[in-house]
Homo-oligomer: A and B are copies of this chain.
Amino acid sequence: MAPPDLVAEPRIAAWNRRVDWWLTGLAAVFLAAYAWQVLDTSLPPAGRDALEFVLTGTWVVFVVDYVVRIALARRRWYFVRTHLLDLVILALPMFRQLRVLRLITVITVLNRQLRDDARGRVLFYVMGAVVLIGFVASLAVLDAERYAPDASITTFGGAVWWTITTISTVGYGDRYPVTPEGRLVAASLMVAGIALLGVVTASIASWFVENLRRTEATVERELDEVSADVDRTEVQLAAVLAELRAINARLDALERSSRPS
């Protein structure tokens, strides 16, 4: 799902364009089913099974998408090598303990869509990404912690509050995860916070470079004008030389005609 060298892989690029919206929809379905499963504690076993079926089903589709992209790749081994992280994130959730990693794929897909929609409006994108990541992290940490002994995160409200105090790096410590899965979510959330800060810094930096480009463009335009002027000068000088040579030729003729007389 990372941006591959699409110029060298036109078939994957075409596939991506075709399935992009479907994958986004699928990620949204996965997230909705996951949220329902986590938040609705009064769900009967049958409903729980149905949601589990949806979650497994969408997961299988993500795996199929990856396999198809390998099949379409020209340089197959190169593709697998450069998309190893995707493979790991798709394969690891087979183990029950690491099912929380499925959310990384879902966030990656939804985040890409968000980034495409928000092109240029960084504030909008950052807000969207924080809400998305915060919502998913709150669900995941609640799912992981809820029934753990000594858990301090046992309600969705508490999970949201914990997410806010963590992503802002305030960390009161009134609530914190105690299970390995919950701590994995916490670590991801901290990385996400630092990454978001990086996006903000990078966007300020790119705004700078745009300014630099404009300065460069102005100076280059002025230089082009000067260059054109100098070129015109050269043409004029060529004309001057031509006239002078004509004069010299005429003077030669004059000299010759005046000498015999």
Contacts and interface: CB of A to CB of B under 8 A. Distances in A.
B200 A200 contact: no
A223 B247 CA distance: 36
Contacts of A227: 222, 225-226, 229
A241 B240 CA distance: 6
Interface string A189-203: 010011000101110
Interface string A219-245: 110111111011111101111110111
* Copy total for this chain: 4
A246 B243 contact: no
A254 B258 contact: yes
A139 B122 CA distance: 32
A201 B227 CA distance: 39
A72 B202 CA distance: 40
A232 B234 contact: yes
Contact of A244 (B218, B230, B243): B243
Contacts of A229: 227, 230-231, 234
B220 A218 contact: yes
Interface stretch (A8-16, A17-25, A180-188): A180-188
A164 B186 CA distance: 9
A102 to B, nearest CB: 22
A191 to B, nearest CB: 8
A230 B246 CA distance: 25
A220 B218 CA distance: 8
A91 interface: no
Contacts of A259: 257
B257 A254 contact: no
Given A215-B215, A229-B230, A237-B240, 12 more contacts: A168-B169, A205-B207, A208-B208, A216-B218, A222-B227, A226-B227, A226-B230, A227-B229, A237-B237, A246-B248, A250-B255, A251-B254
